[in-house]
Chains A and B, each alone.
Chain A
Amino acid sequence: MKSLIHATLAIVVTCGVLWFAASKLEASGAAGGEGVLTVYNWGEYIDPALIDQFEEETGITVIYETFDSNEAMLTKIKQGGSAYDIAVPSEYAIETMIEEDLLIEIDHSKIPNLKNIDPYFLDLPFDPKNRYSIPYFWGTVGIVYNPNDIPEHITFDSWDDLWDPALKNKVFLVDGAREVIGMGLNSLGYSLNSRDDNELREAVEKLKGLNGNVKAIIGDEITPLMINNEATVSLTFSGQAADMMWENEELDFAVPSEGSNLWFDNMVIPKTAQNVEGAHLFINFMLDAEVAAQNTDYVGYSIPNKAAWELLDEEVINDERFYPPEEMRGNLEVYENLGLELLGTYNEYFLEFKMSLN
């Protein structure tokens, strides 16, 4: 009996200590205030030298933390207890954050460098007039492939190339309902924000025809597979494709001409921010032409900063795979927030498609 009590006590004490330690760690984001700026960004998504430069110029100390998914970021900010002054969500997450009243309106008069941003990337449907968010990087969804391993006639100028019998067991898809169903809709010439059940039905039926070609539907695991030449063709995000091509020079990337998704990661100021003034300074700093150009060199994604384009290597800016010219962008669409009901429908169809694969 005595040993039982001891054991119980030991467990309770351990739990207490762990809980205390965890709450200490959790609170790290809460250390904000004057002179400190807490930035919450994706991993590997900023040149660290720029943080030093910002600290030097403004005297503000930057605490930099990273997340790996919009959902994780959302949960942490929603929970409260954090004091992030800047976060960098994608467009659909921004829409949710606006709806849930998690963001502070941005004072444009404090961001003179906003003029550097190409107007194309401003005033988008997910945040009209950019009241809550300022563009950081952008990209598309397309197909990364190894031209050495597939017949020459397949160039992915059209989504239909994915259905080519020569690609038997070679196609990898990203594990996302919006991306895959959207690709099916695009290949039929429909909008990837379609709310018409007949169109969705038709898209799924067409996708089921991919049966023999699809090797797997996976997530980030695709990056090492493409780099090591274990996978040949993969539906993926342009940023991820850039990462792969950086490591494996054989690879190429294409956005089929029927259209695809256009995504944006924007900077926002969460309601929990402790240093709103500093957050504005930081946003303005990141929009500076030279800073943006340096950041692009480091990160490798597409930058919406028009002024920075002039400073960047022409080869980078004229690469139509990552900087599609405006007439090509006409076919690209931004995800609209479809609402949970329709998102559920997309998901059910995606599940149906997955089940048809085996």
Chain B
Amino acid sequence: MKFKPKATFSPYLLWIVLFVIAPIGLIFYYSLLDLNGDFTLANYRNFFTPAYLTMTLTSFWYAFLITFFTLLIAYPTAYFLTKTKHKHLWLMLVIIPSWINLLLKTYAFIGIFGLYGPVNAMIEVFGFDPTQILFTDFSFVFVAVYIFIPFMIIPIFNALDKMNPSLIYAARDLGASAFTTFRRVIFPLTIEGVKSGIQVTFIPALSLFMITRLIAGNKVITLGTAIEQQFLVAQNWGMGSTIAVFLILIMFASMRLTRKKKRGGRA
């Protein structure tokens, strides 16, 4: 069969136009409408009020915390996974929980963190008073990190797995300490995996919304929560879309910051 580039690409092109470009265009269009469907820039002006700016900053802060702790846990995990005998089986076991519905896992945490849940039972064993762990910043970050860990592990695992182990032996032979080997050889060679891991964690973390209510009791407000409220409660699609436009812009910015660098040969 002869390969005809134009014909074979057209379904993908159609797909991208219909399901990527058109929705973004629609979001942008709606962001310019007010409640009566008239053209306005008021939504954008509204976004630059202290309330929404603070919300953007808190979203950023929590997304940063979540990404940071996810990376902190995922990197060593991925590293040790590559060292195990049946590494793909282990990787599978790490990934399986991510197939379970997010909401289901979140509800499970309500029970686990509850006043009479297993965590507090443990705390009591050590002689402390049980405390309500739910509805705090801590529980929010904890649950979010738990949810994102598999998504961070996969790209890092792949990067580590692809790395040629003889490079590590070479570094050690040449007198580098374990830490230097990690800092100068392993980490730079797997940086692309880390970057894709950050992308799949940071961006969704910015727009988390159900967990903010179920686990943080609405004490943590992210841009995602605000969008949900605007659409479902206030029925103000314009304002909801405006927040979404800013979310998209932030995503593009973070994609650019973490994009792959084109280099000749491997460093």
A residues at B contact (CB < 8 Å)? 1, 8, 71, 169, 172, 175-177, 214-219, 221, 225, 228-230, 340-341, 343-344, 347-348, 351-352, 354-355, 357-358
Contact = CB atoms under 8 A, between A and B. Distances in A.
B220 A221 contact: no
A8 B8 CA distance: 13
A355 B110 contact: no
Interface string B199-242: 00000000000000110111111000010011011111001000
B51 A340 contact: no
A355 B221 contact: yes
Contacts of A352: 51
A107 B234 CA distance: 34
Q: Is the interface of B mostly helix, strand, loop or mixed?
A: loop
How big is the B interface, by class? 20 to 34
Contact of A340 (B115, B218, B234): B234
Contacts of A341: 35
A351 B229 contact: yes
Given A1-B1, A340-B35, A344-B234, A230 B116 contact: yes
B236 A71 contact: no
B219 A358 contact: yes
B132 interface: yes
Contacts of B233: 176-177, 343, 347
Q: Which of B58, B110, B232 has the most CB of A within 10 A?
A: B110
Contacts of B168: none
Given A216-B216, A340-B235, 6 more contacts: A175-B213, A217-B213, A218-B214, A218-B217, A230-B132, A343-B234
B54 interface: yes
Chain A interface secondary structure, helix, strand, loop or mixed? mixed
Nearest to B232: A71
Nearest to B46: A348
Nearest to B111: A224
Given A228-B116, A230-B114, A351 B221 contact: yes
29 contacts: A169-B132, A172-B217, A175-B213, A215-B217, A216-B217, A216-B218, A217-B218, A217-B219, A218-B214, A218-B218, A221-B110, A221-B214, A225-B114, A228-B114, A230-B132, A340-B235, A341-B35, A343-B233, A344-B234, A347-B229, A347-B230, A351-B51, A351-B221, A355-B54, A357-B218, A357-B219, A358-B219, A358-B220, A358-B221
B214 to A, nearest CB: 6
Given A169-B132, A216-B135, A355-B54, A344 B239 contact: yes
B126 to A, nearest CB: 21
B71 interface: no
Contacts of B232: 71
A340 B235 CA distance: 7
Contacts of A217: 213, 217-219
Contacts of A169: 132
Interface of B: 1, 11, 35, 51, 54-55, 58, 110, 114-116, 132, 134-135, 137, 213-214, 216-221, 226, 229-230, 232-236, 239
A357 B116 CA distance: 25
A355 B219 CA distance: 7
B114 A216 contact: no
Looking at B217, B221, B230, the one whose CB has the most chain A CB atoms below 10 A away is B217
Nearest to A341: B35
A229 B130 CA distance: 13
A179 to B, nearest CB: 11
Contacts of B216: 216
A343 B214 contact: no
Contacts of B234: 177, 340, 343-344, 347
A143 B138 CA distance: 28
B134 A216 contact: yes
B51 A348 contact: yes
Contacts of B134: 216
A217 B229 CA distance: 14
Contacts of A230: 114-116, 132
A354 B54 CA distance: 12
